[in-house]
């Protein structure tokens, strides 16, 4: 089950339409059309430019109504643009109207879908400006009650991990996911998964230790982290890598990430983006195990009875659900796509682009707080240093980890590129224009397949020489050549005299063609959330475990402190997804 994981591009919308060719339209038009008909019955096609390629809409008309709309767009972002593809056509048919609200976080894909449908209608002679939305009758929702051992709220990486473990242990489990597909924010993960003392490290001759992993994470988080949670994550990281391999998700490549003393970030063979890889494998396992999944279903409340969790309430477009369960695993993610919520804690982040999927709106945190859960580190919100601003694409840490450098508008380096994310972000913001360029070469591209997506979606510029590259990014050629010569000399001598960089210096930048990506910081990860203990039990504001409630992943706080080390999010979701499952298994015996 391979999906294309792309990212939404803010671009000028170019619309073209074919209506299946004039001759084809004539052939498809029914003879029953009358002079009084609202539409010219038939099947029509329209095309619009989406993010990764054309979005094609096929519209079937009867004399009186829009009967059916089908949209194809294989290159739209899985979990974002694909949500718009799944939801907007049905909404347009329901309302007999095309100017529907766009899907939050999927503006370009939504607009492309609307434009493609409009072009198809226009080819049928429809003046879309005259369409009036049909006021739908308020459908009476049914009330349904379901029974499970455990309900997992949220179908991202942590939720899928927990569900697989629970099902394997014989528990009757269901995943409730408010979006139209599984994956959550995990689909956006690109770099890899940190782990220490692994077989992959040993095979590559990399010396590392759990103790160093813990220390790096605590230092990176400015010792705001809960060290007990960090210790659980580090001590269980190698076993988590083994577990992933056992279900078909081996991560044999190992490289550096910012803030790590040693090569520790594990990724798929060839350097592919880790998130899409894991979501594919998790989804395959969920299907094979027969785990029930409810998509497009939003959890609204955690049910409490006699001081214990007893399930959840949820709703879809046509039903209200009471899902009774002995335990609940909360895996709803963070709130990095909810500007209103994150600016409540960090007003200075207003207007920043976000790397998060539209579903990351903090719902689970609110539900847990409503039943008395304690929140920790809620104001700790990370901005990622290397985000392409027109698309919100996060450029993986692996680019810098494999040897790329950052230069400012004057073609000069200004920082150690592999310092922690907050420091590198702050250093970029200090530069003129508050942006920078990532510079790398063909050798790095050949060794890191994640870069192919950046090239495919046209956010890189490419040149055969540094002088030519300088012209493409409108900077001084002589200065860029000097900067690159100094960097390559530093790599040759393994001594960065300018900024003291000591990691990610195995490869120089000498193999043309050469590449640049313009980047600036964007909201990336919310480190705060519900408090958990080392068993992933949710802790109340009174300091006690809430019976039957467990949590894992970005919905929780305490693991990452004031700054998350690149590669630790995937470790967090896998390790604590498994811990939460183990605790729920024990609780439901």
Q: Point out the residues that are catalytic.
A: 421
CA–CA dist 50, 47 (Å, integer) = 9
User: Are residues 428 and 520 in contact, defined by beta-carbon separation less than 8 angstroms?
Assistant: yes
**Three-state secondary structure call for residue 149:** strand
- 290 by Cβ neighbours in 10 Å (0-12 / 13-18 / 19+) ranks as exposed
Which residues, other chains included, contact 286 with Cβ-Cβ below 8 Å and sequence gap of 6+? 160, 163, 164, 175, 182, 293
Q: SS in 3 state form for 381-423?
A: EEEEEEEECCCCEECCHHHHHCCCEEECCCCCCCCCCCCCHHH
User: Are residues 175 and 293 in contact, defined by beta-carbon separation less than 8 angstroms?
Assistant: yes
CA–CA dist 509, 504 (Å, integer) = 12
Per-residue tokens: 96: 């007999």
- What is the Rg, in whole angstroms, of the alpha carbon atoms belonging to the chain? 25
CA–CA dist 369, 379 (Å, integer) = 15
Nearest to 180 by CA among 260, 60, 86: 86
Parallel/antiparallel/unpaired status of strands 173-176 and 292-294: parallel
Burial 29-49 (b: 16+ CB within 10 A, else e): beeeeeeeeebbbbbbbbbbb
CA–CA dist 260, 419 (Å, integer) = 9
User: Are residues 294 and 176 in contact, defined by beta-carbon separation less than 8 angstroms?
Assistant: yes
CA–CA dist 311, 458 (Å, integer) = 46
User: Are residues 222 and 421 in contact, defined by beta-carbon separation less than 8 angstroms?
Assistant: no
The CA-to-CA distance between both ends of the chain, in Å, stands at: 34
Per-residue tokens: 61: 């008309």
User: Are residues 59 and 120 in contact, defined by beta-carbon separation less than 8 angstroms?
Assistant: yes
CA–CA dist 99, 114 (Å, integer) = 7
Per-residue tokens: 148: 């499970």
User: Are residues 185 and 570 in contact, defined by beta-carbon separation less than 8 angstroms?
Assistant: no
């Amino acid at each position: 089950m391979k999906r294309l994981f792309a990212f939404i591009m803010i671009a000028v919308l170019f619309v073209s339409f074919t209506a299946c060719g004039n001759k084809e339209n004539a052939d498809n038009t029914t003879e029953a059309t009358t002079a009084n008909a609202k539409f010219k019955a038939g099947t029509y096609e329209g095309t619009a430019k989406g993010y990764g390629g054309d979005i094609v809409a096929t519209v079937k008309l009867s004399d009186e109504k829009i009967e059916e709309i089908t949209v194809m767009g294989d290159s739209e972002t899985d979990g974002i643009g694909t949500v718009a593809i799944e939801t907007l056509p049905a909404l347009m048919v329901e309302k007999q109207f095309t100017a529907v609200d766009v899907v939050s976080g999927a503006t370009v894909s939504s607009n492309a879908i609307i434009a493609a449908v409009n072009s198809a209608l226009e080819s049928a002679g429809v003046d879309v400006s005259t369409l009036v939305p049909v006021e739908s009758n308020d459908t009476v929702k049914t009330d349904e009650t379901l029974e499970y051992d455990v309900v997992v709220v949220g179908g991202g990486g942590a939720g899928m991990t927990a569900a697989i473990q629970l099902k394997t242990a014989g528990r009757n489990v269901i995943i409730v996911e408010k979006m139209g597909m599984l994956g959550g924010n995990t689909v956006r993960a690109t770099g890899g998964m940190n782990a220490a003392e692994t077989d992959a490290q040993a095979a590559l001759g990399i010396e590392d230790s759990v103790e160093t992993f813990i220390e790096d994470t605590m230092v990176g988080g400015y010792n705001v982290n809960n060290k007990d949670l960090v210790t659980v994550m580090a001590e269980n990281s190698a076993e988590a890598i083994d577990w992933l391999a056992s279900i078909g998700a081996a991560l044999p490549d190992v490289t550096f990430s910012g803030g790590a003393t040693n090569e520790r970030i594990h990724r798929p063979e060839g350097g592919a983006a880790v998130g899409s890889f894991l979501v594919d494998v998790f989804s395959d396992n969920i299907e094979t195990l027969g785990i029930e999944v409810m998509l497009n279903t939003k959890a609204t409340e955690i049910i409490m009875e006699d001081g214990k969790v007893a399930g959840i309430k949820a709703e879809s477009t046509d039903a209200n659900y009471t899902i009774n369960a002995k335990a609940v695993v909360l895996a709803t993610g963070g709130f990095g796509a909810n500007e209103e919520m994150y600016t409540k804690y960090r007003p200075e982040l207003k207007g920043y682009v976000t790397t998060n999927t539209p579903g990351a709106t903090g719902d689970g945190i609110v539900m847990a707080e409503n039943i008395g859960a304690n929140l920790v580190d809620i104001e700790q919100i990370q901005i990622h240093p290397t985000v392409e601003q027109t698309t919100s694409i996060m450029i993986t840490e692996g680019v810098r980890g494999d040897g790329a450098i950052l230069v400012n508008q004057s073609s000069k380096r200004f920082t150690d590129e592999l310092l922690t994310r907050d420091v590198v972000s702050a250093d970029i913001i200090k530069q003129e224009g508050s942006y920078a360029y990532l510079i790398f070469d063909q050798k790095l591209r050949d060794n890191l397949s994640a870069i192919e997506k950046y090239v495919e979606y046209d956010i890189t510029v490419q040149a055969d020489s540094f002088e030519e590259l300088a012209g493409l990014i409108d900077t001084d050629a002589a200065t860029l050549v000097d900067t690159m010569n100094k960097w390559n000399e530093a790599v040759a001598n393994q001594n960065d005299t300018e900024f003291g960089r000591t990691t990610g210096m195995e490869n120089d930048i000498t193999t043309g063609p050469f590449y640049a990506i313009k980047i600036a910081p964007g909201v990336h990860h919310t480190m705060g959330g519900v408090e958990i203990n080392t068993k992933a039990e949710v802790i109340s504001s009174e300091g006690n475990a809430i019976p039957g409630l467990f949590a894992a992943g970005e919905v929780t706080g305490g693991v990452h402190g004031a700054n998350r080390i690149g590669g630790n999010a995937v470790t967090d979701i896998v390790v604590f997804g498994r811990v939460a499952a183990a605790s729920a298994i024990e609780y439901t015996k």
